[in-house]
Structure 1
Amino acid sequence: MNSSYPVIASIVEGHGEERALQGLLHRLVPHLVPGMYAEIQRPHRVPRDRMLKREHLERALTIIMARSPRPTGVLALLDSDDDCPVELARILRAHAQAAHGDVPLVAVAAVREFEAWFLAGAVGLAGRAGLPHDLQPPPAPEGIRDAKGWLSQQMPRGAAYQETAHQPSFATLFDLDAAYAAAPSFNKFCRDVKFLLTGERDERS
């Protein structure tokens, strides 16, 4: 590492994640490795269709790795939508390896969408933004096709979940342990972040 502490950069696809991921990582670092400090840099946004193309990912990595301090690791995050999350992550890693093989990069595709993690950790959102005080996660939260719609349905009549308004605050509130247990893609996300922090790879990754 070129620093005495980890420096994590990230690539995201949406405006909501651009604001939400930094706050989530600030929560997650001490949760995963108690006492750990890491610098969490502002996410770099690349629309999904471009992120999956080698030349655009290469350009993003070139920009990111020119930062000071230089990142010690990069996290690429996108929604899988109807695609296979494993295949999407493989494509991103392959493009990164071909373009910037010296850059430690992990790639995570949230199953369906980022908000599925909120559903898995919904107990932490109870009583917030008009959500019920007894809010409980649905069964198989990553199996729900429209997680944003599910959140809107739990809100008072006339209110709706809005990605840019709610995603950053919900990222600081949802129950991390519950999401880790109920959402396999969040479980992978946590394991990948821990790898960027410690350099130790979980055998399941």
Structure 2
Amino acid sequence: MNGSYPVIAPIVEGHGEERALQGLLHRLVPYLREGAYADVQQPYRLPRDRMLKPATLAQALTVVAARRPQPTAVLVLLDSDDDCAVELAARVRDLARQSHSHIPLTAVVAVREFEAWFLAGAAGLAGHMGLPHDLVAPPDPEGIRGAKEWLSDRMPPGVTYRPPAHQPSFAQHFDLAAARAGAPSFDKLCREVAGLLG
């Protein structure tokens, strides 16, 4: 711990998550533990292809580990796309251990994509940024290929879902409880963040 609270350094793969994850974690911490606080640092963006290479992941870890206040943990977030989320998370953890075994690190992989969590918690987005007021979550949100397209199809005519523009706001409004129930990978994020709170 840094003083009496954790300091979390996120590493993400996309521009949208670079802007959205910090706000989501600030929202999640008191949701998971009433009265809790964590210093969530600005996410470091590392594209997926570089995140899965030992040298570039090591370089990113060196950068975030040198921040002040010094992180008490690193949280890596990426999308599974068509890969197995469990295996991909294990691969990232193994790569990180090769160079930075002294840094507490957890890797969370969103099944399919980050936006699957928005689909699972869609009720909280009803009426937000032009989405329908009767918006409901689809069955099996993590089984949908193209969560971004699902959101675009429900936005006003001429409006397309764009991660950098929409993710930060959607991350503040989607239904957290419904997302935990409907998206196991989001529940995994919640459990990992709760663990980082000590």
TM-score tier by shorter-chain length is over 0.9
Q: Which amino acid aligns with 2:137?
A: P
Equivalent residue number for residue 186 of structure 1 = 186
* 2:30 maps to 1:30: yes
Q: Per the alignment, do residues 2 and 155 of structure 1 end up closer, same or farther by CA in structure 2, a change over 3 Å counting?
A: closer
Q: Aligned residue for 2:173?
A: 173
In the other structure, the counterpart of 1:100 is: 100
CA deviation string 1:41-99 (max 9, x = no partner): 00000000000111111111100010010000110000100111111100111111121
Instruction: Tell me whether 1:52 sits opposite 2:63 in the alignment.
Output: no
Aligned residue pairs, count:
198
Give the partner amino acid of 1:51.
Answer: M
- Matched residue type, 1:154: R
Q: Distance in 2 between matches of 1:167 and 1:6?
A: 25
Unmatched runs of 5 consecutive residues or more in structure 1: 199-205
Match of 1:123 in 2: 123
- The residue aligned with 1:201 is none
The amino acid across from 1:140 in the alignment is D
Which ranges of structure 2 fall in alignment gaps of 5 or more residues?
Answer: none
Change in CA separation of 1:2 and 1:23 when aligned onto 2, cut-off 3 Å = closer
1:9 is paired with a residue of what secondary structure?
strand
Aligned position for 1:4: 4
Alpha-carbon distance between aligned partners in 1 of 2:102 and 2:31, rounded to the nearest angstrom: 28
Give the Cα separation in 1 of the matches to 2:191 and 2:141: 19
Structure 1 runs, 4 residues or longer, greater than 4 Å off:
none
Q: Which residue number in structure 2 is paired with residue 143 of structure 1?
A: 143
Matches within 5 A, 1:60-139: 60-139=60-139
1:3 CA displacement: 2.7
Q: How big is the alpha-carbon RMSD for the aligned residues of Structure 1 and Structure 2?
A: 0.7
Normalised by the size of structure 2, how large is the TM-score? Answer: 0.98
Distance (Å, rounded) in 1 between the aligned partners of 2:98 and 2:161: 39
User: How far apart, CA to CA, are the structure 1 residues paired with 2:124 and 2:22?
Assistant: 18
> Residues of 1 paired with 2:95 and 2:162: CA distance?
32
